[in-house]
Every structure is written in C-alpha cells, then in structure tokens.
Amino acid sequence: KRILTGETISVNIGKIRVGGDHPPIYIAGPCSVESKEQIMEAAFALKEIGVDVLRGGAFKPRTSPYAFQGLGIQALEYLKEAGEAAGLPIVTELMDEGHMDVVMEYADIIQVGSRNMFNYSLLKTLGGLNKPILLKRGMCATIQEWIMAAEYLALHGNKRIILCERGIRSFDNYTRNTLDLAAVPIMQKETGLPVIVDPSHGTGIKELVAPMSRAALACGADGLMIEVHPDPPCALSDGHQSLTFEEYSRVRKNV
Ligand code: PEP
Ligand code: MN
C-alpha cells in the first residue's frame, strides 16, 4: 500500500507554498554557481523579475569528468549569501551522502538530480530529513519508478516533496531530452504532490524554453525551473540552454 495516495499535499518553503490550489512557483538561476559576482548578479536580477526561489549547482553531475565539476562548498556559501542578500530561498543539488550535513545547513530545498533518482540509499537518508526535496525524474525512469522514488522519501518520513519533470531519453536526439508533459497531470493524480517542469534540461534548446513553459502551465504544472545566466555564451555549464535575464523576463511575463 502506498503512502502517497493522490490526496493533495502542498509543500511550504518558508512563506512560499507550492501545490494544490497555490499559484505556480518560479525557480530560476544558473546551472552552476561560478563566482560570487555571478550568483549575486543573478539573485538580484531574478528577484526583480519575480522569481520565488534561486537555483545554482555546487556539486555538478557532469557527464564528462573533464568538464567543470562545480565549486562545491564554496558555491554553497556564495549561493546562500546571494539568496539572503536578495531575499530568495535557494535550491541546490546534493550528489552524495558525504555532503548531506553541509547541504542541509545551506539549502532551503535539496535537489535530487536525474542521475540520482535511483539512488535508494540517498533517498532513504533524505527521507529522514525535515527539508523540502526537489525530486527530478530519472532520465530513463518510468512513471512507476518515479512514483516509487517519491515513496522512498515518504516512507522514511519526508512528504515535503516537489516532483520535477525534466525530460526523458527517447529514440529522438533532436532535443536533448523528450519533455514528457503528460507526466505532469499523471504524477499529480497518482501522488498528490506538486509537479514542476524544467524545460531547460527538458529540451536543451533555449528557443524552446518559452513555448514549453507555456505548455507546462497549461497542463497544470505547479511551477517552472529555468536556467538563467548573466552571460550564457560564457557559462561554465549548459550555456546553450540558458536564458539571459531579458529573455527570462519575457518568459515570466508571458506564461
Ligand atoms: C540541474 O538541474 O542542474 C541538473 C543537473 O539537472 P538533471 O539532474 O535533471 O540533469
Ligand atoms: Mn544544467
């Protein structure tokens, strides 16, 4: 018998509430925290545009071990400082249990990345925390497997879960991933949890972020997570799918 039965569960992050009848939340920020200046600039610009939560990677799950791996604990400090200065809660990914305590201390929401959705040991540990968890869909996870990953958290005591559809692998590689928007109403109905959409990783193409954001909210998503960078061509990760502040501002106004 499942714990997440479909009965509506809304999640609070400080004063913000997500899920149920609450308006969509907007999470935005760079793929990676690259410097104090970069994340400060992003925090203030995004606050001005109307973002609710600031994102930024500290520990990056890069496909290539030669690619930028993130600034680690230093990034957590910069992200926290920027969030506090601009008045925004922060979300960042926890890659391994070794950094649990430090990420717990800094982050307002702990992100479980696509590659770790199947890390049951990590899910069990996060289930013991009183902290909202942003559970991204595994890139090869079925709906059922994603539901069960959420059940791991809930069974171990943590129902403060926000699900995030971020695209799945399919036969087609025109887009980076295939954004599965049908998963949004399905997961809401099956789990009762808030479901947000990440059109940045979901498509990997910046021009598709605006239309897929509109589509996500049209099908009932509880929020959007979008990559935004002060200077996308110079980003250390995912610049090709990141929006400028101006581009993001247009998305935010027109969804
Ligand atoms: C991210 O949000 O920075 C990220 C790495 O996403 P995903 O785990 O969905 O690939
Ligand atoms: Mn990214």
Residues 37-86: tens digit of each pLDDT: 999 999 999 999 999 999 999 999 999 999 999 999 999 999 999 999 99
Q: Residue 201 Cα, ligand 2 centroid: separation in angstroms?
A: 6
Q: Residue 60 Cα, ligand 1 centroid: separation in angstroms?
A: 8
Question: What pLDDT is attached to residue 151?
Answer: 98
pLDDT band at 29 (very low <50, low <70, confident <90, very high): very high
CATH 3.20.20.70 for domain 11-254:
yes
Pocket of ligand 1 (CB under 6 A): 31, 57, 61, 113-115, 136, 166, 201
Q: pTM above 0.95? A: yes
ipTM of the complex: 0.99
Relative to beta strand 16-18, strand 11-13 is: antiparallel
Q: What are phi and psi of 19, to 5 degrees?
A: 100, 175
Question: Are 9 and 189 a contacting pair, CB within 8 Å?
Answer: no
Cα-based torsion angle of the residue sequence 5, 170, 59, 46 in order, rounded to the nearest 10 degrees = -80
pLDDT band at 125 (very low <50, low <70, confident <90, very high): very high
| 115 Cα nearest atom in ligand 1 | 8
Among the listed residues 35, 42, 114, the one whose alpha carbon sits nearest the alpha carbon of residue 71: 35
Question: What pLDDT is attached to residue 104?
Answer: 98
